[in-house]
Amino acid sequence: MSRVDLVNVLSLARTFRDRIGNAPANLADGPIGDELRGRVVGNLFFEDSTRTRVSFSVAAKRLGAEVIDLTSVGSSTSKGETVIDTAANVASMGVDALVIRHRSSGSAHMIAKALDNLAGSQGGGVLHKPCSVINAGDGRHEHPTQGLLDIFTVADAFKRLKDFDLTGITLGIVGDIGSSRVARSGIAGFAALGARVICIGPPSLVPAAIRTLGCETCHDFDAVLPQLDVINVLRIQFERHEVTAGAAKAENQPAAKSSAAIASIREYTEFFGLTEKRAALLKPAAIVMHPGPINRGVEIASSVADGKRSLILRQVHHGVAVRMAAMALCIGN
């Protein structure tokens, strides 16, 4: 996204956030606007999600939309249906937007292209109206609304909500950068708005090529801590790693927590865990973020995740406003 596009979405999100207020939304209060009245949003999640799915649902409902949750779509694909067919079927039922998560990079783009083609074609049984596609995470590629809510949280914390110019702010992203769509969306967005972005972790998790997105890389967490205004902590996505035969058999380490990229969780935490000691080395006004889910005691100490610098739950709060903005721009009245 260009800087102008980013600022457009973020500015609209700011409007919604102001309407909601600074406290979490009280769902019983009903809608805060009618931007999505009469619209139907389908959550099409081929991969597990709690935060993102609920966040999109809440955002849609509070702007007056109806929400259809399609979370066990695996049942169709397991019967041999392609992802495109599943999406086309749902879209044909009159859904205005599909919020899609899939484990393959590029899947949202592919589905969007396919639905565009269907909407343009004539004849019976095809789509009569266009259906928007919102990417809620495609593989390790992108998770745009997470990137946007991270930017919003930083802009809020450093009082840059007016123009979202993040010049002078240094953001560290520590952890499994290579597996992370959150990092990819974040790097691109933060860099476009003028922030300096440093990706931190062992070489196996921080590929040098990630620099092409506009960030620096660093393998020495302790050395860069004093430069950071923001540290965004990511978990190790073991489920996306190659598992070695030896690791699966290793003692005291269940297969789900083993990876060819990491010698041990103990070693990872020793060098890259955000402990209280490390958090104390950050700039005095620095903030701590985490997109969740948190592995407490691994990439971040509980005392830091729950500490004064932590904006982790604020990120979630801002997520609703950002998703309202995304949907309103796509299918708003």
Partner 1 sequence: MARTLITGGKVIDPATNTVVDADIAIIGDLIAEIGPKLSKLPAEKVIDAGGCLVTPGLIDPHVHLREPGNERAETIASGTAAAAAGGFTSVCCMPNTTPALDTDTMVHFVLARAEQTASCRVFPVAAVSKGRHGQELAELFLMAKAGAVGFTDDGDCIASAGLMARALAAVKATGKVLMQHCQEPTMTRGGVMHAGEISARLDLGGWPRAAEELIIERDVRLNRSVGCAYHAQHISSGGSIDIIRQARKAGMPVTGEATPHHLLLTCDLIETSRYDTRYKMNPPLREASDIAALKEGIADGTITVLGTDHAPHTHESKDVPFDSASFGIIGFETALALYAKALVDDNVIGWSRMIDMMTWQPAKLCGLDRKGLGRLGVGGPADITIIDPTEKWTITEECLVGQSRNTPFMGTAVQGRAVGVVVGGKVKLNRRG
For partner 1, give the closer residue by CB, 246 or 284. Answer: 246
- Binding flag, residue 211, partner 1 (CB under 8 A): no
Min. distance of Cβ 282 from partner 1 in angstroms?
Answer: 22
Window 214-253: contact mask with partner 1 (x via CB under 8 A): -----x------------------------xxxx--x---
Query: Contacting partner 1 (CB under 8 A), which of 94, 271, 297, 303?
Result: 271
Residue 255 binds to partner 1 (criterion: CB under 8 A): no
The sheet that has 40-45: what strands, in order across it?
66-70, 40-45, 97-102, 132-138
261 binds partner 1 (CB under 8 A): yes
- Please give the sequence-ordered ranges of beta strands (E in DSSP) within the chain, or none if there are none: 40-45, 66-70, 97-102, 132-138, 170-174, 196-200, 216-218, 230-233, 287-289
Beta sheet of 216-218, edge-to-edge order = 216-218, 196-200, 170-174, 230-233, 287-289
Residue from 33, 194, 202, 214 in contact with partner 1 (CB under 8 A):
202
CB of 243 vs partner 1, minimal distance in Å: 9
Closest to 230 (Cα-Cα) out of 148, 141, 168: 168
> Smallest distance from the beta carbon of 203 to partner 1, in angstroms?
4
- Cβ burial of 267 (10 Å; 0-12, 13-18, 19+) is exposed
Q: Does residue 174 contact residue 234 with C-beta atoms inside 8 Å?
A: yes
Question: Which is nearer to partner 1, 85 or 222 (by Cβ)?
Answer: 222
Chain residues that interact with partner 1, rule: CB under 8 A = 202-204, 219, 244-247, 250, 260-261, 263-264, 266-267, 270-271
